Amino acid sequence: MRLIMKKALISVLIISAIIISACAGPKGKSEEEKLRQQLKKWESFDSEGIAEVSYKSLAIRKMFSAAKNGSELRFDLFDGGLLGSAGEPLLTMYLGDYVAVKSPFIPMLELLDLTPSAPLQSLKLSANADSLVALYGERIIRDKKLELNGVTINFNKDYLLDSVWEPENKTQMKALYNSKGDLSELVVTSIDNISLRMSFDKIEYVQPQIIPLPKPELSFSEDALKGLNNLNLESLLKEFLQYKKEGQK
């Protein structure tokens, strides 16, 4: 009788343990895992939507495609129609080991050194999420912020990227999300009143093939290069926006 009761007690304990384990369910994600999951989204993606480029009172809205893979990024601005049939982009910018621009409407841009204006530090920081978490995960989890190489990156309580500030080129990037926590808009502003607002129609977290623009090979003299780089970029952009705005009428 005692043997039967002992076996029954063991069976009850085993069943109870199984029930308790089942009720407990899988463990929730750690803070580090949550952070890594969000940072991975900025590591590589392919996207398209509507971009609004503005300077003071001038603004144009055009279709765009933006693709990033590691430390490479390509942005294309199209005049209209479906991306697959939009023809040659109005403007293409490639960021990687170098910065290159192609624009049939502002060919002078292709001659300028735009490296100081490009967010290369932010691009490098977002290239490897695992490395970023391993080196600075504890700091980000504690402060919801990371200051590194002069760049300040802010996160919200769910580790969604909130904003990035690069003092070297005085540029700020602000990320906006929908109610589901999906990226809906990206706003890039600078102190010279130039801004870019990207509204995403589609974004896929894949590893796209980035087709780089040819590396600029300028054969001008030093004096000629200085003259080109002293060109008023704001005036060129203003002329471009005014031209495209009139073309939309």
The predicted model scores a pTM of 0.77
Q: Check: CB of residue 245 under 8 Å from CB of residue 90.
A: no
pLDDT (0 to 100) of residue 76: 95
Q: Check: CB of residue 125 under 8 Å from CB of residue 153.
A: yes
For 15, the token pair is 């069943």
Q: List the one residue out of 156, 152, 199, 198 whose CA is nearest residue 181.
A: 156
Using CA atoms, how far apart are residues 103 and 76, in angstroms rounded to an integer?
10
pLDDT in tens, 66-84: 999 999 999 999 986 544 4
Strands (E), 80-127: 91-95, 99-102
pLDDT (0 to 100) of residue 240: 64
- For the chain, which residues score pLDDT lower than 70? 1-28, 80-86, 218-249
pLDDT (0 to 100) of residue 185: 97
- Any residues with CB less than 8 A from the CB of 182 and at least 6 apart, and which? 203
List the end-to-end C-alpha distance of the chain, in Å, as a whole number.
Answer: 96
pLDDT (0 to 100) of residue 143: 96
Using CA atoms, how far apart are residues 193 and 55, in angstroms rounded to an integer?
6
For 141, the token pair is 């989890």
Strands (E), the chain: 44-55, 58-69, 72-78, 91-95, 99-102, 145-148, 151-155, 161-166, 171-177, 183-190, 194-204
137-155: burial string, b at 16+ Cβ within 10 Å, e else: beebbeebebeeeebebbb
